[in-house]
Amino acid sequence: MRVLLHACCGPCLIYPADQLRRQGLDVTVYYFNPNIHPLAEYEKRLSTLMEYCQRVGLKVVSGDYDIDEYFRAVGSPDQDRCRLCYKLRLQETARRAAADGYDAFSTTLLVSPYQKHDELRQAGEEAAAAAGVAFLYEDWRTGYRAGQARARELGIYRQKYCGCVYSKEESRDPKR
């Protein structure tokens, strides 16, 4: 089975990609993250992801970077920006998976204990129904620490915030 795996960054890719490959699935990594800000951070995450994928023999494709697309989709920070961001990225991943003939898609966001897991699952299932391709749901949170430890061992860049300008500002708040 061919799976298009949306990836937010190298460290979060490690555990899900390993798990899917152990199941004998043919995994291609899809880097589509117009939410990441600033552009230098986006490029650093992409470069890190590419280096890791080359090291372990994973194919990578990337989508366009359009921060304006993210802001149009999400609106103000007072709205439910995470849910809308998940929707944007998973709809595009599902569309790409269907267009390129993949059997299913998933996302590395499912490894993070900091993401809103139920909203991710719902966004994935809705995107799958709209695009006509299966959403491969896995709760990989139990492997988060192992993936992060492996990233440290390999010297992979590990960012301090989710990616969007709002999460970057929140990461600077000592009360959080």
To which CATH superfamily is domain 2-171 assigned?
HUPs (3.40.50.620)
One digit per residue, pLDDT tens: the chain, 176 residues? Answer: 999 999 999 999 999 999 999 999 999 999 999 999 899 999 999 999 999 999 999 999 999 999 999 989 988 766 688 899 999 999 999 999 999 999 999 999 999 999 999 999 999 999 999 999 999 999 999 999 999 999 999 999 887 767 676 666 666 665 54
Are residues 36 and 159 in contact, defined by beta-carbon separation less than 8 angstroms?
Answer: no
Distance CA 30, CA 105 (A): 10
Whether residue 38 has a cis bond before it, omega within 30° of 0: yes
Enumerate residues 6+ apart whose C-beta is below 8 A from 144. Answer: 15, 111, 112, 113
Letter string b/e over residues 102-121, b meaning 16 or more CB atoms within 10 A of that residue's CB: bebbbbbbbbbeebebebbb
Q: What predicted TM-score, i.e. pTM, was given to this entire model?
A: 0.93
Give the number of other CB atoms < 10 A from CB of residue 1.
Answer: 13
Distance CA 136, CA 158 (A): 25
Give the number of other CB atoms < 10 A from CB of residue 155.
Answer: 9
Domain coordinates in residue numbering, the chain: 2-171
Distance CA 50, CA 48 (A): 5
